[in-house]
Structure 1
Amino acid sequence: MYRLLALDIDGTLLDGRREMSDATVDAVRYAAGRGVRVTVCTGRSLPSAEEAVRHLPLNAPYVLNNGAMIYDAQGRRARYLRNLPSHLAMDAVRVFRGIGFHPIVYGPLPEVQYFYYDSFDPDNQAFIDYAAQNADRVHRVDDVCAFLRQDIACITVAERNERVESRESHIRAQLPDTGVVFEISPWDPGYHVITVMPAGVSKGDGLRRLARLLGIGLSEVMAVGDNLNDLEMLDVAGLGVAMGNGPPEILARADHVTASVDDEGVARAIERFIK
């Protein structure tokens, strides 16, 4: 019997059109009705995650920002959070600028209401689309370093796959005191999103902390995800389920592979494993 169900959002609950199917909503409602604690485990920040899951009957604290925060939505308070120290954020900006990438600075947890950039590649459609979708939260500034006088949630970059793959080892080597997450963009598979966070932070660590907070053993946890930043989460859970639309690395590490997001993968996994 699984007592905690952790669900990724983009590519898992939401399809490529950023829509959630009725079958998915019904399946989550069924799981909650069976007494299962249901939550999201996502790279999204609080405002973005709350908007995405507003129709779901979630009944456990959210794991947000790739595990950097556990947030009790009912009590409106963070149960755990870790910001990226400002000096490490400055290092990340320096490293990214040095290889021609354009860093984005996210404000501090818990709210992460705004994010900032000072330059962008006009050919980077992934960033242009992302900024347009978050027009009320994004701000262009003269220099993002001006916002690094305090600790922040994270630094991110969106770049074409080929540019990222040739520089991944360099980035990791230059930022040894941080956690660097590489994932395929949920909006454009031709791009990677790189996120620099505090060392040790991951969805897996966040899920482990949430299970301990709820008094639930990891063997009683089921997690569903589709992207590279879900690897640790699937490893930690007693049952790690990969969406059929995930990359080969996810499919290989999962305990079970369900259907794709367009073929009701979450609903099928819940139907099979939640009794």
Structure 2
Amino acid sequence: MKYKLIAIDMDGTLLNSKNEISKKNKEAIKKVTDKGVKVVLSTGRIFPSALHYAKSLEIETPIISCNGAYVAEHGKLNIIYEKPISVEASKEVINLAEKKGIYYHFYDDTTFFARRFSETVNNYYKLNEKIDEKERIDIRIIDNPIEIIDSEKPLVYKFVFVEDDREKLLEFRKEAAKIDGIEVASSWWNNVEIMNKGVSKGRALIELCNVLNIDRSEVVAIGDNENDIPMLKIAGLSIAMGNGEEEVKKIANVVTKTNDESGVGEAIEKFVL
């Protein structure tokens, strides 16, 4: 099979434990793009964060961000697909999180709204230092999220809720799932992610393939966590990371090495080059 597109998750997949792209991964991606294969970053992150890494790889294909809620070309000159959460659903989600006392943040295409300062916020501040000023993430610590939703009406693509108490987090997820008009997923053991109903990396990948006129059988998808499963299921070849969740490994066609062992580069060399 001659594959034409590789969709790659970022955290836990392309990036190692230091949030870096290994030399082997970079070299494999360079080789495969030189052969005409499109490499697409598919991430839960906010768009500018994904764009930063795409530029470091010197790839210019569209980016799937916000777990598939926002797909755009570099410079956002062409938004291929977007599906924000409704105002009503956003308010319900916020009220539930406030009631349960769970930390959360949410974002549109460029602005990161955080309920308070956190490790994630700090990481984005550090990332901003590496990004061109005009493409930096607008980070805002807010006291009244509902007021922001009502007055500014941001196009919210994704909420992330973080809680180390697993029982508390699972209870929150169970209740959140009852809210109309939302999709619930997770990308890490201590988080819950909420998007508009029907949003997933798989749906976004289908939309992108339609635009690029690429058949799903010609697609390779590589991921490690629950939110990657929809794109793995629609790909011609699905590859799970060695460090991935067991549920991901079970549905994947093959399992590669871990993200700290350049599993992406290993998979590209073995199955695409």
- Which of 184, 187, 191 is the aligned partner of 1:183? 187
Match of 1:124 in 2: none
CA spacing shift, 1:102–1:264, aligned 2, 3 Å? closer
| Cα distance, 1:169 vs structure 2 | 2.1
Alignment of 1:158-173 (within 5 A): 158-160=162-164, 162=166, 163-173=168-178
| Cα distance, 1:230 vs structure 2 | 0.3
Contact 1:28 1:38 in 2 (8 A): yes
Aligned-residue CA RMSD (Å): 1.7
Q: What secondary structure does 2:58 align onto?
A: coil
Q: What secondary structure does 1:157 align onto?
A: strand
CA spacing shift, 1:221–1:155, aligned 2, 3 Å? same
- Which of 230, 234, 237 is the aligned partner of 1:236? 234
Please give the alpha-carbon distance, in whole angstroms, between the structure 1 residues aligned to 2:22 and 2:114.
33
TM-score, reference length from structure 2: 0.88
CA spacing shift, 1:253–1:138, aligned 2, 3 Å? same
Match of 1:102 in 2: 103
Contact 2:224 2:248 in 1 (8 A): yes
One-letter amino acid of the counterpart of residue 11, structure 2? D
Alignment of 1:1-275 (within 5 A): 1-73=2-74, 76-106=77-107, 108=108, 111-117=109-115, 119=116, 128-135=118-125, 137-149=138-150, 150=153, 151-160=155-164, 162=166, 163-173=168-178, 175-184=179-188, 191-275=189-273
Q: Which runs of 5+ in 1 are unaligned?
A: 120-126, 185-190
Cα deviation 1:161-219 (Å, max 9, x = unaligned)? 5122344322212x2321111221xxxxxx52222211000000011111111000001
Please give the alpha-carbon distance, in whole angstroms, between the structure 1 residues aligned to 2:64 and 2:175.
29
Across the two proteins, how many residue pairs are aligned to each other?
257
Contact 2:220 2:236 in 1 (8 A): yes
| Cα distance, 1:25 vs structure 2 | 0.3
Contact 2:111 2:140 in 1 (8 A): no
Please give the alpha-carbon distance, in whole angstroms, between the structure 2 residues aligned to 1:142 and 1:23.
44
Contact 2:97 2:103 in 1 (8 A): yes
Please give the alpha-carbon distance, in whole angstroms, between the structure 1 residues aligned to 2:257 and 2:124.
30
Please give the alpha-carbon distance, in whole angstroms, between the structure 2 residues aligned to 1:87 and 1:74.
30
Cα deviation 1:80-117 (Å, max 9, x = unaligned)? 211111111001011222222133232x3xx3223231
Match of 2:134 in 1: none
Q: What secondary structure does 1:148 align onto?
A: helix
Cα deviation 1:123-173 (Å, max 9, x = unaligned)? xxxx72112122364322221111112142222211115122344322212
Q: What secondary structure does 2:177 align onto?
A: helix
Contact 1:28 1:57 in 2 (8 A): no
Indicate the percent of aligned positions where both proteins have the same amino acid: 29
One-letter amino acid of the counterpart of residue 154, structure 1? K
Q: Which runs of 5+ in 2 are unaligned?
A: 129-137
Contact 1:32 1:59 in 2 (8 A): no
TM-score, reference length from structure 1: 0.88
Residue range with higher mean Cα deviation, 147-156 or 3-12: 147-156
Contact 1:105 1:154 in 2 (8 A): yes
Residue range with higher mean Cα deviation, 220-229 or 135-144: 135-144
Q: What secondary structure does 1:180 align onto?
A: strand
